[in-house]
Structure 1
């Protein structure tokens, strides 16, 4: 799930974390006109859920900051699923380029 990590913050409550600016696709994100901050990664997560994993909708929440992406909830399996999908994007420039293009074509606004 690298560079994301899943932590149990309190018993039965989990957070999926990504330190913004620590991925293999940061330069690409900037080339595409975005800032690879926590808010951008929230947009990535929203697109993943909307387009590729609609079964995750309503099973987690987001709380990003400038320097960190955070999704949280009590459904560990949902966070693991999202983490695996986001890890693939964070490590594959072609997949990230495709996701951003699909988002922009559909009118999605990244909040970065």
Structure 2
């Protein structure tokens, strides 16, 4: 792929201008689109919630993506948001097998298994379902999960819990205050905001609650169940206090 084109597509992606990515790549004749371009096109379609279209493009380069963990992650992402959990689980399992250090693939694998279990998906191993359901059926977990919506809670097999948010809609106006500085409301910006909140409002949890955001998702996690649930409740309450969250955001550092 042309270096200048790649730089432009990356810039648009970082600014969440996914429509521009789609339009630009669609201008290129299909015969001239290499594997990377097709994957970037499909990723942009994912980010515009056009999951069925994205899957068709991913499948068109399936042979080339067989050993690419990102290909498996991205098609799994599309399946997950189409509620096709069996396919999502398989894709994320492949992504983790190819890249065991990919925390986001691991998180989505857990989310897919949890969602599949709730949907009665018989393909999920019984031992995993039982372990996850014990955690999810904890009354406090269920109570907190309801309170922190639209943030989500994901219980992992190792006992840790993640708090997640698919960014783009919730409280997006907060980040527009400092848009000229480069803030866009992506996962990294949410991470910066959450870090200020944690340091100023819950400093006793600074070394216990960790952040692992990406462009389209904010994620906080901890192996201390009480800590992450307390953080989740307090951070959601802060987000609903307009004056407080704007004040905290004024001290956020652009990642």
Q: Please say if residues 48 and 85 of structure 1, whose CA atoms lie closer than 8 Å, have aligned partners that are also in contact.
A: no
User: Is 1:60–2:206 an aligned residue pair?
Assistant: no
Structure 2 counterpart SS, 1:6: strand
- The answer to whether the aligner puts 1:98 opposite 2:247 as a matched pair is yes
Bigger share in helix: 2
Give deviations 1:7-60, integer Å, cap 9, x for gaps: 10214121111111131x212311332211110111112111111101111112
Q: 1:6 is matched with which residue?
A: 153
1:32-51 → structure 2 map (5 Å cutoff) = 32-33=178-179, 34-51=183-200
Please give the secondary structure, in 2, of the residue aligned with 1:18: strand
Structure with greater proportional strand content = 1
Higher relative contact order (CA 8 A, sep 6+): 1
Q: Distance in 2 between matches of 1:62 and 1:110?
A: 15
Q: Is the 8 A contact 1:13 1:73 kept in 2?
A: yes
Distance 1:83 1:22 in 2: 18
Of 216, 219, 232 in structure 2, the residue corresponding to residue 83 of structure 1 is 232
How far apart in 2 are the matches of 1:100 and 1:28?
8
Provide the TM-score with structure 2 as the length reference: 0.38
1:109 aligns with 253
Aligned equivalent of 1:30: 176
Structure 2: tracts of 5 or more residues without a match: 1-147
* Preserved contact between residue 3 and residue 18 of structure 1 (Cα < 8 Å): yes
Shift of 1:65: 0.5
The farther-off stretch of 83-92 and 40-49 is: 83-92
Mark the structure with the bigger radius of gyration: 2
> Match of 1:10, SS?
coil
Specify every segment of 5 or more residues in structure 1 that has no aligned partner in the other structure, as ranges. Answer: none
Q: Hey, what's the Cα distance between the residues in 1 that align with 2:192 and 2:202?
A: 14
Q: Provide the C-alpha distance between the structure 2 equivalents of 1:41 and 1:55, rounded to a whole number of angstroms.
A: 20
Deviation beyond 3 Å, 4+ runs, structure 1:
none
When normalised by structure 1's length, the TM-score is 0.82
The structural deviation recorded for 1:66 is 0.5
